[in-house]
């Protein structure tokens, strides 16, 4: 989809991988401007990070940018869906409009484009999210009739406040509380012989974590795990504590911390998970403690640690509260039926959503 609209804006589909550095630089500045509004502690992305984080494996992604006639960027949107055919009725999407161009119909125009493409793809539901740090997102969701599905707390911990003795007690008590298991901390790349087991853990995580009604977990494979780590290790450092059942050699739990190359002050928890068949032995605390102790030893200059939890995940919330994490912002997941989205757009513009070829 490329071309002008009757609103005086140009809408173009973009592929970050094919853009030159010069062409991508103004997009990078716009993304960083939006991210600073969303997250007051945001440290700007580099061009390399924008390319890496924007093309994470496992999904088909399409992006659109909206420009004024002057050429200035006013909005970006993204849609994505799994590349393995799972969840065939759902299209995840995001619409981000600059503060000075909100309430002028730009978001509605992009919603029409997304809903039109969703129709062509045979998708029935649009799934998106908004943040309490940008109230305009919630207002737009209410206006279009999107329904709230889940809430997540994004939590932060000052690393200087991390209870090191608590981490040592969690890690130290592991062998006694979970005999027959061991924990190893991996710096960087996961061993090839563990990839299939780690893929199973990601399947378990997606299967068991709170999701909107009708969501089905994708097929996680060793090949996808390899692609994932090849991708994110381009722009981040990673420490992963992996718990293994000694009799089988299979991974049963893990906790991973990453830090961006351009922002070593912030450690991000990508995941902490334990296979349900091996819960009740404090393996989650063991891998949490081990990962944090390794980061304290190997990563200098850390200031913050970030994690996110669904409000329904009480077990992980309690672990993070014990560590001293505090709520920083709330993410709310919403969805809307494609037909309802198109009806809203028509009511506002008199036009149906444009498809991919327009």
The yes-or-no verdict on residue 4 having pLDDT over 60 is: no
* Structure letter (DSSP) for residue 159: G
The CB density around residue 96, as the number of other CB atoms within 10 Å, is: 18
For the entire predicted model, the pTM comes to: 0.86
Q: What is the pLDDT of residue 311?
A: 64
In angstroms, rounded to a whole number, what is the distance separating the alpha carbons of residues 279 and 274?
6
- Would you list the DSSP string of 27-51? HHHHHHHHHHHH-TTPPPPPHHHHH
Tens of pLDDT, residue by residue over 184-228, are 999 999 999 999 999 999 988 888 766 656 667 788 999 999 999
The yes-or-no verdict on residue 331 having pLDDT over 50 is: yes
Q: Is 6 exposed, middle or buried (0-12, 13-18, 19+ CB in 10 A)?
A: exposed
Q: Give the mean model confidence (pLDDT) for residues 95-116.
A: 93
Q: What is the pLDDT of residue 37?
A: 92
Bigger pLDDT: 29 vs 232: 29
Q: Which of 95, 73, 87 is nearest to 141 (CA)?
A: 95
The yes-or-no verdict on residue 50 having pLDDT over 90 is: no
| Summary mean pLDDT of the chain | 89
Half-sphere exposure of 259 (CA within 13 A, CB side): 21
Contact criterion met (CB below 8 Å) for 99 and 37: yes
Tens of pLDDT, residue by residue over 235-288, are 999 999 999 999 999 999 999 999 999 899 999 999 899 999 999 999 999 999
Residues 6+ apart with CB under 8 A from 154: 306, 307, 308, 327, 328, 329, 330, 331
Q: 355 pLDDT band (50/70/90 cuts)?
A: very low
- Whole-number Cα distances in Å, 255 to 30, 154, 172, 209: 33, 17, 16, 15
Residues of 245-283 as b/e, b for ≥16 C-beta within 10 angstroms?
beeeebbbbbbbbbbbeebeebbbbeebbbbeebeebbb
Contact criterion met (CB below 8 Å) for 234 and 53: no
Q: Which of 76, 81, 93 is nearest to 127 (CA)?
A: 93
H or E element, residue 321: helix 314-323
Q: Is 38 exposed, middle or buried (0-12, 13-18, 19+ CB in 10 A)?
A: middle
């Amino acid at each position: 989809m490329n071309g002008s609209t009757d609103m005086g804006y140009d809408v173009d589909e973009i592929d970050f991988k094919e853009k030159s550095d010069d062409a991508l630089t103004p997009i990078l500045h716009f993304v960083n401007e939006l991210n600073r509004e969303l997250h007051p502690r945001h440290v700007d992305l580099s061009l390399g990070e924008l390319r890496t984080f924007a093309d994470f494996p496992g999904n088909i992604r399409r992006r659109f940018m909206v420009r004024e006639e002057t050429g200035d960027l006013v909005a970006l949107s993204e849609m994505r869906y799994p590349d393995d055919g799972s969840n065939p009725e759902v299209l995840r999407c995001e619409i981000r409009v600059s503060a000075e161009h909100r309430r002028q119909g730009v978001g509605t125009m992009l919603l029409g484009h997304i809903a039109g493409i969703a129709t062509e793809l045979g998708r029935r539901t649009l799934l998106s999210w908004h943040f309490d740090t940008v109230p305009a997102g919630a207002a737009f969701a209410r206006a279009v009739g999107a329904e709230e599905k889940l809430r997540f707390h994004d939590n932060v911990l000052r690393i200087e406040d991390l209870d090191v003795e608590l981490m040592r007690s969690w890690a130290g008590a592991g062998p006694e509380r979970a005999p027959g298991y061991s924990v190893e901390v991996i710096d960087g790349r996961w061993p090839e012989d563990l990839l299939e087991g780690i893929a199973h853990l990601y399947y378990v995580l997606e299967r068991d974590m709170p999701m909107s009604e009708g969501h089905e977990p994708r097929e996680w494979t060793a090949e996808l795990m390899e692609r994932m780590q090849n991708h994110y290790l381009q722009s981040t450092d990673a420490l992963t504590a992996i718990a293994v059942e000694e009799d089988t050699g299979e991974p049963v739990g893990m906790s991973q911390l990453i830090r961006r190359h351009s922002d070593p002050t912030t450690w991000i928890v990508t995941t902490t998970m334990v296979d349900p068949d091996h819960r009740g032995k404090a393996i989650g605390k063991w891998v949490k403690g081990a990962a944090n102790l390794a980061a304290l030893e190997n990563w200098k200059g850390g200031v913050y640690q970030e994690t996110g939890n669904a409000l329904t995940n009480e077990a992980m919330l309690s672990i993070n509260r014990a560590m001293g994490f505090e709520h920083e912002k709330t993410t709310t997941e919403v969805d809307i039926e494609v037909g309802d989205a198109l009806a809203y757009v028509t009511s506002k513009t008199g036009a149906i959503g444009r498809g991919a070829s327009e």
